[in-house]
Amino acid sequence: MKTILLAITAVVAPCALLCAQNPVKDTVDTATNVGHAAVRHTKEAADTVAEALTPEPDARQVDVTMSEYKFDMPTELKAGKTAFVVKNVGRKKHNFEIKGAGVDRKFQKNLAPNETRVLHVVLERGTYEVTCPVDFHPQRGMKTTVTVK
C-alpha cells in the first residue's frame, strides 16, 4: 500500500508543479502582449499627431500636389524640420510616403480627392524615395526621388 501511495505521489507532485508554473508563463505572455500593443498604439498616436492640418511655424513648408500617378513637388530640399503640405487633386485616393536616411513615414489613412493634410518630417542630408503606396500606383509612375542637401 505504501508503494502505491509513493508511486501516486511521485506522479502527482511533478504534475502539480508544472500546473503551478503555467499561470506565471501566462502572466508573462500577457504582459509581453500588452507591452507590444502599447508600443504599437503609441507609435500610431505619434504618427497621427504628426499628421496636421497646418504646418508648424518652425518647419519649412513644401507644397506637394498629387494626381493620378504623379507628384508635383520640388526634387531638391534643405535639411531640417519639413512640413509636407500634401493635396490630392486627383479623382482617386492617394497617399504620400517618404523613405530614406532613417525616415519611413506616410499618412495613416489615404487622402480622398480634394483633401489636404500636412506630414511633418525631420530630413537629414541624403536621398529619399517618395511614393504613393496605394495599390499599384508606384508601378504606374507615382514615385519620385528627392535629394536633401
Q: Which tens digit of pLDDT belongs to each residue from 118-135?
A: 999 999 999 999 999 999
Tell me the C-alpha distance between 146 and 40, whole Å.
29
Contact between 34 and 56 (Cβ < 8 Å): no
Q: Which tens digit of pLDDT belongs to each residue from 37-47?
A: 555 555 554 54
pLDDT at 53 over 50: yes
pLDDT score at 27 = 56
Q: Which tens digit of pLDDT belongs to each residue from 55-113?
A: 999 999 999 999 999 999 999 999 999 999 999 999 999 999 999 999 999 999 999 99
Q: Which tens digit of pLDDT belongs to each residue from 4-46?
A: 555 555 555 555 555 555 555 555 565 566 555 555 555 554 5
pLDDT score at 48 = 46
pTM score: 0.67
Higher pLDDT, 71 or 48: 71
3-state secondary structure of 149: coil
61-70 own/partner pairs: CB under 8 Å, 24+ apart: 61/85, 63/87, 64/96, 65/89, 66/90, 66/94, 66/96, 66/111, 66/132, 66/142, 68/92, 69/132, 69/137, 69/140, 69/141, 69/142, 70/141, 70/142
